[in-house]
Amino acid sequence: MCGISGAVGLNDISQALYEGIRNLEYRGYDSCGVALVNSKGLVLKKNIGGVEEFYRKENVLRHKSRIGIAHTRWATHGKVTRENTHPLSSSDGAFAVVHNGIISNYRFLREKLAREGFHFKSETDTEVIPHFLEYFYKKSKNVEAALAKTVEALEGSFALAFITSHQPDQIYCAKRESPLMLGISDEIKYLGSDFNAFIDHTKNAIIIDDGEYAVISRDSYTVKSLVTGQEIDKPIQKIEWDSESSKKGGYPHYMLKEIHEQPQTVNHALEIPASLTDDIVDLIVESDQTYLVGVGTTYYVAQFGQYIISNLAEEFLPAISADEFVALAKIDKGSMVLALSQSGETYDTLTALKYAKSKGAKTAAIVNVMGSSISRLVDKVVFQGSGPEICVISTKAALSQIVLLTVIGLKLALRKKLIGKKEFQKQIDQLKELPEIIHAVLNERSGFIHRIAHQYYKVKHWLYLGRGVYYPVALESALKMKEVAYVHAEGMPAGFLKHGTLAMIDQDIYSIVFVPPREDKELYQATLHSIEEIRARSGFVLGIHFDERGKNKDLFSEELILPPVSPLIAPLLQLVIAQLFAYFTATSLKRDVDKPRSLAKSVTVG
């Protein structure tokens, strides 16, 4: 939800801190702030707006310091105001705190502190933390003891960090459920919500686990248990991503860059060691019932998986939106939950997995971010290796997960002897063609998609329609349109239209229909039938299809023709096209593509 960054070194760290929160802006960007130390004590600078704007307006880099913490916020408790922006300080000004997560008992704690005479300047849940630190420090005169006592009072999730004038050479941080890690270099020790906070400076990271806290100074770091106070020996992990892959590389937006990176990310997914996907197949085979779980885009990825695995392996693995999982799924020791998550930090997905574990179920996940909470929670994890996905809107990570679910479906079909080795290899070879085809289509059709998107960018209502596996294509494509262009787009099974929605067809409702290749005969015919229903009511239809030009001349109002491909990869190619259509609509509407409103890259609250 928010991004935390920290740095302590021999010389000025202001620039490193600035880069840290700027690289974390995809986690939240409505306001930001820093706390530094100078000869007079703590200095707090904060305001609403994005990181660059804040640093420029407040001339923050003018303030030199060897130690500091910073925060970029995505508001959950309290409006977007300067007062609610982090860091938040204690009444005596001796503690400055940044926090990511939600303190669920904060109302109760505010009342308690108010009775002790503390005054609150913000509406946030976070402000109880600096006041408690002050309160407990006054009793023990020991910062670590005050931290342990404060954390004991907090319910909910947090990654928190603070600096204090009582120990001005050290940064303190602690974690429960929200992500936090240290970056270790000789000259500077870093702190971040994830690797992006310090990847430009060091690839050596220490992942802080739940119930741990750390104290970092210029030339040392210690990690301890919040409960026992005992020091914990933590291994240094090497980050495999490079900082170049986190940059825009000449593209105007990360979203466009990441759409264009899909040939590589699909290749990476296909190069993942076979034993990892075999392990998932083993778990599915051993379990009575497997559920596919994700939320937002990854729920739609789960829906792709549901159709693909049902079609290929004749096995029905229900896809459930993680936020509904506890209410819906019937879990016991014989169950297995396969979660999909780009960030590996999503609260709803973590909650579903924890619930499944508490019922004795087996768990597995396909995750992009190494060291993330989900990857450490599950019994088996597949790292999809898509590299950093910086744009808040998910594109390349989702497609890679769909490819991996297809591989799992094929392996399951082979295991169940529904297909032989030859057929298995043939289908894997078809998947291997996907990167080259995406590359060619992006090269050849981008201009045309741009033109169409610009022609129709003022359309206010889109229906996205597909049948079978093209239904999740419609759902995910509509989500792209909603979240990046803020345009109403509704994904729906095409067969559902005639049960009511057709009544809405008029000159203001535009439809996009994902037409399967002809070889998928029944689905193809049924989809054309739905198009006829719209056209009979003079509705507009943009068809995304694989027929040669002029084949169904009068059927479409507008058409986007793709080269003929196998039914296995056809829906995946259409998804890429729809991502691009949403992107160009958003640029025509002058939206903030990489940082769309009301969405954060990893939603770590419930």
Contact (Cβ atoms closer than 8 angstroms) between residue 167 and residue 143 = yes
Rounded to whole angstroms, what are the CA distances from 156 to 100, 290, 313, 430?
11, 29, 41, 47
Q: Between 84 and 373, whose beta carbon lies closer to ligand F6R?
A: 373
Query: What pairs with residue 41 in β-bridges?
Result: 38
How many C-alpha atoms does 128 have within 13 Å on its Cβ side? 25
* Contact window for ligand F6R (CB under 6 A) among 135-143, 296-304, 406-414, 571-579: 296-304
φ and ψ at 184, to 5 degrees? -115, 120
Q: Rule CB under 6 A: which of 298-317 touch ligand F6R?
A: 298
In 171-258, which ranges are E strands? 171-176, 181-184, 188-192, 204-207, 212-217, 220-225, 237-238
The nearest distance, CB 463 to ligand F6R, in angstroms, is 20
The nearest distance, CB 333 to ligand F6R, in angstroms, is 26
The nearest distance, CB 393 to ligand F6R, in angstroms, is 4
Q: Between 555 and 578, whose beta carbon lies closer to ligand F6R?
A: 578
The nearest distance, CB 298 to ligand F6R, in angstroms, is 4
Q: Between 214 and 575, whose beta carbon lies closer to ligand F6R?
A: 575
Contact (Cβ atoms closer than 8 angstroms) between residue 150 and residue 164 = no
List, in order, residues 6 or more apart from 85 with CB less than 8 Å away.
31, 32, 33, 46, 47, 48, 71, 73
d(CA 464, CA 477): 7
* Contact window for ligand F6R (CB under 6 A) among 62-70, 111-119, 230-238, 293-301: 293-301
The nearest distance, CB 322 to ligand F6R, in angstroms, is 8
Token output for 376: 């450490």
Nearest CA-CA partner of 545 in 494, 499, 589: 494
Among 21, 69, 295, 513, binds ligand F6R (CB under 6 A): 295
Q: Is 602 in the site for ligand F6R (CB under 6 A)?
A: yes
Single out the catalytic residue among 2, 32, 173, 391.
2
Q: Is 284 in the site for ligand F6R (CB under 6 A)?
A: no
Contact (Cβ atoms closer than 8 angstroms) between residue 99 and residue 122 = no
Q: Is 483 in the site for ligand F6R (CB under 6 A)?
A: yes
Is 40 tagged catalytic? no
Q: Between 122 and 297, whose beta carbon lies closer to ligand F6R?
A: 297
Decide: residue 227, CB within 10 A, 0-12 exposed, 13-18 middle, 19+ buried.
exposed
The nearest distance, CB 392 to ligand F6R, in angstroms, is 6
The strands making up 181-184's β-sheet, listed across from edge to edge, are 41-48, 31-38, 67-73, 3-9, 188-192, 181-184, 204-207, 237-238
The nearest distance, CB 562 to ligand F6R, in angstroms, is 23
Is 354 tagged catalytic? no
Token output for 54: 């804040």
Q: Between 151 and 481, whose beta carbon lies closer to ligand F6R?
A: 481
Contact (Cβ atoms closer than 8 angstroms) between residue 270 and residue 407 = yes
Q: Is 393 in the site for ligand F6R (CB under 6 A)?
A: yes
Residues 545-584: x where in contact with ligand F6R by CB under 6 A, - otherwise, as a string: ----------------------------------------
Q: Is 394 in the site for ligand F6R (CB under 6 A)?
A: yes
- What's the CA angle centered on 27, arms 22 and 33, to 5 degrees? 50
Q: Between 122 and 298, whose beta carbon lies closer to ligand F6R?
A: 298
Q: Between 75 and 541, whose beta carbon lies closer to ligand F6R?
A: 75
Among 5, 90, 346, 386, binds ligand F6R (CB under 6 A): 346
Q: Rule CB under 6 A: which of 314-343 touch ligand F6R?
A: 341-343
Active site members: 2, 601
Q: Which residues bind ligand F6R (CB under 6 A)?
A: 295-298, 341-343, 346, 349, 392-394, 483, 602-603
